[in-house]
Amino acid sequence: MPFRATSPYLVKPGSDVSLDAYGTADTGGMTKKEARKLLRGLKKRLNELQELLHATETHALLVVLQGMDTSGKDGVIKHVMSAFNPQG
């Protein structure tokens, strides 16, 4: 199941967000196996985009993760951010 720009998790700039609207057990309709497969593909794409960003030397990327204790921030860093090369 590919991630789409019409995803219910997409927040439009300037709009209000209420995390209460999302259940803590929400899986996005995917199994763990499907999510891992999707993550592999997205990590490849993130790596490609990082190379383009680094090549232009005109922009930067700041990622801010906010969440309560045990909300999964470390897991995001471990699994998603591993697609990035810290040296560009």
Over residues 21-39, the pLDDT tens digits come to: 888 888 888 899 998 898 8
Cα–Cα distance measured from residue 29 to residue 45, given in angstroms and rounded to the nearest whole number:
22
Residue scoring higher pLDDT (3 or 43):
43
Domain boundaries, position 43: 29-83
Within a domain: residue 13? no
Within a domain: residue 20? no
Domain count of the chain? 1
Cα–Cα distance measured from residue 16 to residue 58, given in angstroms and rounded to the nearest whole number:
30
Q: What is the pTM of this model?
A: 0.62
Within a domain: residue 65? yes
Nearest alpha-carbon partner for 3 in 42, 32, 31, 36: 42
Within a domain: residue 78? yes
Please report which confidence band the pLDDT of residue 1 belongs to, taking 50, 70 and 90 as the band edges: low
Pick left, alpha or beta for residue 40 (phi over 0 → left; psi -120 to 50 → alpha; otherwise beta): alpha
